[in-house]
Amino acid sequence: MSMWKKIKKLFKPDSDSSEKDDSELEFVTFQEKDPIDVTFTKNFIAGGGMFLYCENEQETLENLKSILDNEMVSDLVCFEEKLINLLNRLGTKHHPDFKKDLDYAFISCEYLVAFDGSIMLSSKQTKGRKQEDLPNNIIIYARPNQFTVNINEALQKLNSRKRQSIHTTTSIRGRNIHNVDASSASKNIYLLLVEQY
Q: Express each pLDDT in 46-63 by its tens digit.
A: 999 999 999 999 999 999
Q: Is 154 helix (H, G, I), strand (E, B) or coil?
A: helix
Q: What is the pLDDT of residue 148?
A: 97
Could you tell me if residue 22 is inside a domain?
Answer: no
Residue 129 lies in a domain: yes
Q: How many domains does the chain have?
A: 1
The answer to the question of residue 12 being in a domain is no
| pLDDT score of 80 | 97
* % pLDDT > 90, the chain: 65
Considering the chain, what percentage of its residues have pLDDT values greater than 70? 76
| Range in 24-33, 104-113, 133-142, 163-172 with the lowest mean pLDDT | 24-33
Amino acid at 139: I
**139 in any annotated domain:** yes
Does this model's pTM top 0.75? My answer is: yes
Question: What is the pLDDT averaged over residues 162-190?
Answer: 71
Burial 54-93 (b: 16+ CB within 10 A, else e): beeeebbbebbeebbeeeebeebbbbeeebeebbeeeebe
Residue 181 lies in a domain: yes
159-173: pLDDT as tens digits: 888 665 657 899 998
Name 170's Cβ contacts closer than 8 Å, sequence gap at least 6.
120, 121, 126, 130, 131, 185
CATH code of residue 188: 3.40.50.10420
**Is pLDDT above 60 for 74?**
yes
Residue 67 lies in a domain: yes
Whole domain around residue 99: which residue ranges? 32-194
Single-letter amino acid code for the residue at 38: V
Work out the mean pLDDT of the chain and round it to a whole number.
Answer: 83
- Domain membership of residue 9 (yes or no) is no
pLDDT at 186: 72
5-39 pLDDT per residue, tens: 444 444 444 444 444 444 344 555 544 578 999 99
Report if residue 21 sits inside a domain.
no
- Residues 155 and 14: beta-carbon distance below 8 Å: no
